[in-house]
Amino acid sequence: MRDSIGLAYLLDNKCGVSKYTYRITGGINADLNAVPWMAYFHAKGTFFCGGSLVNHWFVLTAAHCFKHNDATIYVRLGENDASRLYDCDEYECAPQHSEYWVVKKFTYPYFKTARYYDIALVKLNQNVVYSKSIQPICVILDRRWQGYVDSIQNFMVTGWGAKDYTEKSERLQLAKVPQVDRWTCRSRFGYNVDRTHICAGDGSHYVGKGDSGGPLGAMVNIGQYRVFVQFGIVSHLRQPFFGVSVFTNVLSYSSWINHTIVNNNNS
């Protein structure tokens, strides 16, 4: 696809399309099929992180999600309300969610803590068939888009993370979060927040416990299409979690993402 910035090299050209509209002021329940790229990670029957489907085989998430998890990891796609077998709205019901398991994890080589290099890919046990409720998110592989990312005022973040003080939400949540400059972020977190990070959130719009690994993104015009593009991964939450959070900047790792997928797509 071509944009005014140049070629937008995407992992999957049929990506980022849903019925979702970008008119959200705070945390709300996601409509049915509104965020079809969301992945629900669980092990031993317990949810622990979110992620995003990026093509037929791979899910993008945060490396810290796997730091202390050696159990068999399952990935649920097409999920909205984890308390229900079938998700329905007033007009229709979606097919039952699909379950996969992780056959291989790829964490960024220099990862140690959530402060830096907090990115991972997982390969699923079988090819994912796209449907109305399961679609890939757009991931741009052209780092010339960084200036555009820096200019975005508000992002959208999604996940099953904490609402208020609860452990997690059974229903997938959407929230619009304002971008915060890195200088402010550095002062709040006390470490070098650099261009490999994105900062976003405030007292009214934030991510919570359980949102880790989920996507931060925005609607973007690419050519004649308007699609949802992932620019960040939920990484480091300020404790208590109300307020600004640090996200892994996906563009900073575009070469690693592409290299990992290309070299392991058929292995």
What single DSSP character describes residue 63? G
Look at 258 and 32; give whichever has higher pLDDT. Answer: 258
Residue 61, φ and ψ in degrees, nearest 5: -155, -170
Whether residue 175 sits in one domain with residue 149: yes
Identify the pLDDT of residue 243. Answer: 79
64 is catalytic: yes
Q: Are 137 and 158 in contact (CB under 8 A)?
A: no
Q: Per-residue confidence at 239, pLDDT binned at 50, 70, 90?
A: low
Instruction: Tell me the pLDDT tens digit for each residue of 144-184.
Output: 899 999 999 999 999 887 655 556 678 888 888 999 998 88
Options 133, 169, 212, 254, the catalytic residue: 212
Whether residue 246 sits in one domain with residue 259: no
83 is catalytic: no
Identify the pLDDT of residue 3. Answer: 42
Identify the pLDDT of residue 146. Answer: 94
Whether residue 93 sits in one domain with residue 54: yes
Residue 50, classed as helix, strand or coil, is strand
CA atoms within 13 A on the CB side of 174: 22
56 is catalytic: no
Options 81, 118, 133, 169, the catalytic residue: 118
Whether residue 176 sits in one domain with residue 97: no
Percent share of the chain, pLDDT over 90: 49
Residue 30, classed as helix, strand or coil, is coil
For residue 11, being part of any structural domain is answered with no
Look at 225 and 227; give whichever has higher pLDDT. Answer: 227
Look-up of token digits 């997928």: 261
Asked if pLDDT for residue 6 goes beyond 90, the answer is: no
Options 12, 18, 52, 64, the catalytic residue: 64
Residue 59, classed as helix, strand or coil, is strand
Domain that holds residue 132: 36-137+254-263
Whether residue 147 sits in one domain with residue 107: no
Identify the pLDDT of residue 226. Answer: 87
For residue 51, being part of any structural domain is answered with yes
Whether residue 243 sits in one domain with residue 180: yes
Identify the pLDDT of residue 151. Answer: 96
Residue 115 maps to which CATH number?
Answer: 2.40.10.10
Asked if pLDDT for residue 12 goes beyond 90, the answer is: no
Residue 90, classed as helix, strand or coil, is coil
Look at 243 and 262; give whichever has higher pLDDT. Answer: 262
Instruction: Tell me the pLDDT tens digit for each residue of 60-70.
Output: 999 999 986 67
For residue 86, being part of any structural domain is answered with yes
Look at 223 and 119; give whichever has higher pLDDT. Answer: 119
Asked if pLDDT for residue 256 goes beyond 70, the answer is: yes
Identify the pLDDT of residue 165. Answer: 53
Instruction: Tell me the pLDDT tens digit for each residue of 69-94.
Output: 678 999 999 988 887 888 887 788 88
Tokens of 47: 């949810």
What's the rounded Cα separation, in Å, for the pair 151 and 179?
A: 9
Residue 262, classed as helix, strand or coil, is helix
Whether residue 57 sits in one domain with residue 128: yes
For residue 210, being part of any structural domain is answered with yes
User: What's the whole-number mean pLDDT along residues 123-135?
Assistant: 95
What's the rounded Cα separation, in Å, for the pair 149 and 161?
A: 24
What's the rounded Cα separation, in Å, for the pair 196 and 98?
A: 33
Identify the pLDDT of residue 98. Answer: 94
What's the rounded Cα separation, in Å, for the pair 201 and 138?
A: 22
Identify the pLDDT of residue 238. Answer: 64
Residue 85, classed as helix, strand or coil, is coil
Beta strands at 245-249 and 225-237: parallel, antiparallel or unpaired: antiparallel
For residue 13, being part of any structural domain is answered with no
